[in-house]
Amino acid sequence: MTFAAVDVIAHKRDRKALSDDEIAWVIDAYTRGAVADEQMSALLMAILLNGMDRREIASWTAAMIASGERMSFAGLSRGTTDKHSTGGVGDKITLPLAPLVAACGLAVPQLSGRGLGHTGGTLDKLESIPGWRAALSNDEMVAQLESVGAVICAAGSGLAPADRKLYALRDVTGTVESVPLIASSIMSKKIAEGTAALVLDVKVGTGAFMKSLDDARELARTMVDLGQDAGVTTVALLTDMSTPLGLTAGNALEVAESVEVLAGGGPPDVVELTLALAREMLDAGGKPDADPEQALRDGAAMDTWRAMIRAQGGDPDAPLATARETHTVRVPSDGPSGGVLTRLDAMAVGVAAWRLGAGRARKEDPVQAGAGVVLHAKPGDQVAAGQPLFTLHTDTPERFDAALQALDGGFDIVDGGSVLFGDLVIDRIA
């Protein structure tokens, strides 16, 4: 059926539900260029303001999937499971998680993205490993899943091309913050990817896209419903992103920390979340009795990591990039002699890492492999005057001032203070 774009816009403007036919037509027509950017921008704004019901969101998602190819892993000798994070600061969990789950017997086809703004990108992190490549053909991806069990790569251009076009438009029209549009963007790619099971890590807090627990729950519920309706076993964890994960935010810095986790060490919060997500992925993928802790202890996860990096052209033994310049931020010595670090804002650290060169303002911007922030203390730690709090890393020292401005006011040190710790995993939606 053919519709007039202005009629579809007017229906949603007037708070009417769009029909399945209207949705299928407008997504297809926009992907083909028959609906103009300014028309789709108006429709996206109407959706942001007036919302969509469950049927509309499912139909919108299905139309985006139908705009491109669908992958299939039916021929693999093991079941598939995947994970998606809504993004945070220091969120390097995909790096140890994919080989860990693969070492426990499932195949992990992890299609990942690049960083934009204060949230880091998994592909940017892995590209700090000499020789590693993000672009794989579908055949290469399937072959690596069979031989290694895990692959982390970029999504091919044929996967949900409507989403790629819509995402760019949302970014420049102020329509990013719409739960139906966020959920359909994420789930169209994940369903088209063809995995049998999916675990969602929905971040909530100052460093997350969703600042409130209610908004995060709504997004998680919407995505779980979309996955289940499409026949994908889907579960979501709501996880705290008020403080950065681990002790690093950057690219090579986070790779090094991920390798520490695979070696049986690493920061406790990174290990905790990696294991929590691994257990969910293994359960959803039909391996509930597998022991991911054992796979970390006995080196099986590390072996899979090394094989995964080699399979994509990388050298797991090569030195990682290091920044040419560093600057240390210390506990102020012009006030109290020290105290307890009671708050460390994830957004402040994320913006600082971005300004140092670890992230990008536009998709075409380059990133520095060695740039970022190393944390020397986390909330609850006792710190003394003059003690290092952060070390800033960059190749371009003129960036230090902007990074320091981002960190200003981003932490509190209280003499005799204390911290009431909440759970890292806040809730589970299934």
- Of 83, 84, 114, 203, the active-site residue reads 84
- Of 85, 178, 184, 185, the active-site residue reads 185
In this structure, are residues 293 and 282 in contact, taking their beta carbons and an 8 Å threshold? no
CB proximity list for 324: less than 8 A, separation 6 or greater: 370, 394, 395
**Other residues' Cβ atoms within 10 Å of the Cβ of residue 343:** 17
Q: How far apart are CA 59 and CA 23, in angstroms?
A: 7
- Catalytic, 67? Answer no
CB proximity list for 341: less than 8 A, separation 6 or greater: 377, 378, 379, 380, 381, 382, 383, 389, 411, 412, 413
- Of 83, 114, 118, 170, the active-site residue reads 170
**Other residues' Cβ atoms within 10 Å of the Cβ of residue 381:** 16
Tokens 């406790």 label which residue? 268
CB proximity list for 277: less than 8 A, separation 6 or greater: 83, 93, 97, 199, 201, 237
DSSP string, 156-211: PTTS-HHHHHHHHHHHHHT----HHHHHHHHHHHHHHHT-SEEEEEEEESTTSSB-
CA angle, corner 344, sides to 127 and 125, nearest 5?
Answer: 5
- Of 11, 83, 118, 189, the active-site residue reads 189
Q: How would you label 15-36 residue by residue, b for 16+ Cβ within 10 Å and e otherwise?
A: eeebbeebbbbbbbbbbeeebe
In this structure, are residues 217 and 83 in contact, taking their beta carbons and an 8 Å threshold? no
- Catalytic, 185? Answer yes
Query: CB under 8 Å, gap of 24 or more: what pairs does 19-23 form?
Result: 20/55, 20/59, 23/56, 23/59, 23/60, 23/63
- Of 82, 91, 124, 163, the active-site residue reads 163
Strands (E) across 205-241 are located at 233-240
In this structure, are residues 120 and 250 in contact, taking their beta carbons and an 8 Å threshold? yes
- Catalytic, 327? Answer no
- Catalytic, 393? Answer no
Q: How would you label 363-377 residue by residue, b for 16+ Cβ within 10 Å and e otherwise?
A: eeeebbbbbbbbbbb
- Catalytic, 163? Answer yes
Q: Catalytic amino acids?
A: 84, 163, 170, 185, 189
